Amino acid sequence: MNWHDQLKIAILEKNTQKAFDLITQVPTENLTTMEELLSAQELISQGIELLEKDKEELQKQMLRIKLAKKFLD
């Protein structure tokens, strides 16, 4: 399975760890045409958006934990 397909699947499955790994290891030697580069750019943008949403959710969860801890203290 090629890089494009793997990243598409990671985004669809909302697998942030896999998306991050794929985004940080872009096989630039395999992206030779403008179409491949544009496709990679779009997929990377979608992957970053997924990572940002996950980050926001983690921040909300951390805040809830801090508030719960403060309440219990």
Tokens of 62: 């951390």
Per-residue pLDDT 10s for the chain (73 aa) are: 899 999 999 999 999 999 999 999 999 888 899 999 999 999 999 999 999 999 999 999 999 999 999 989 8
Which residue range forms the structural domain that includes residue 41? 3-72
Helical H segments across the chain, by residue range: 3-12, 16-24, 34-72
pTM above 0.75, yes or no: yes
> What pLDDT does residue 28 have?
87
> What pLDDT does residue 22 have?
95
> What pLDDT does residue 30 have?
86
**How many structural domains does the chain have?**
1
Q: Quick check: 23 and 47 in contact, CB under 8 A? A: yes
